[in-house]
């Protein structure tokens, strides 16, 4: 089953690589769908900035919000603070295990928060630098 099964017309595909990995046949299908494909080396960015692959998802989150502008950096930062420094976040068993692994890598949660935020800000900026920011249609009141 192709990775894009279920992708809607005009959909978005984010891929964690800078390599050209999509076969030509799949590129044609994505083109017919009007899909936008964005690639960044998220794992490498996470390693370079945060010092761990555990921040890879943060790179992808930053890319998504950098492209869509659905949420601004202030709201992202607030969510990260709630997630890593307390608040009303309820962890699942899998999340608790991940937290334990992360805390071994980062002695202080504040350091973890700062590194994750740095990764997000980097990929937000990367989306802008590459000209990937989606234009929002302004609705005109009639």
pLDDT tens digits for range 30-51: 999 999 999 999 999 999 999 9
Total domains, the chain: 1
Tell me whether residue 22 is in a domain: no
- The answer to whether residue 3 is domain-embedded is no
pLDDT at 108 over 80: no
pLDDT at 25 over 80: yes
Residue 31 belongs to a domain: no
The tokens describing 124, both together, are 């937000």
Q: Residue 2 domain-assigned? A: no
Question: Considering the domain boundaries, does residue 20 fall inside one?
Answer: no
Indicate the average pLDDT of the chain.
86
d(CA 54, CA 34): 32
Q: Which domain holds residue 120?
A: 41-129
Task: Judge whether 30 lies within some domain.
Answer: no
Q: 99 or 48: whose pLDDT is higher?
A: 48
For position 139, what pLDDT does the model report?
47
pLDDT band at 3 (very low <50, low <70, confident <90, very high): confident
pTM greater than 0.85? no
Q: Is 52 a domain residue?
A: yes
Is residue 121 domain-resident?
yes
The residues pairing with 14 across neighbouring beta strands, listed in sequence order, are 38
């Amino acid at each position: 089953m192709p990775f894009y099964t279920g992708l809607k017309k005009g959909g978005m595909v984010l891929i964690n690589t800078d390599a050209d990995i999509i076969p030509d046949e799949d590129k044609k299908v994505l083109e017919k769908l009007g899909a936008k494909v964005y690639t960044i080396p998220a794992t490498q960015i996470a390693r370079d900035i945060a010092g761990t692959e555990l921040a890879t998802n943060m790179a992808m989150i930053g890319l998504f919000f950098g492209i869509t502008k659905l949420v601004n950096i202030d709201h992202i930062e607030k969510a990260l603070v709630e997630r890593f420094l307390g608040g009303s976040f309820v962890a699942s068993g899998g999340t608790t295990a991940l937290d334990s692994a992360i805390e071994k890598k980062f002695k202080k949660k504040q350091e973890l928060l700062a590194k994750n935020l740095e990764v997000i800000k980097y990929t937000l900026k990367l989306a802008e630098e590459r000209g990937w920011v989606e234009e929002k249609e302004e609705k005109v009141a009639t």
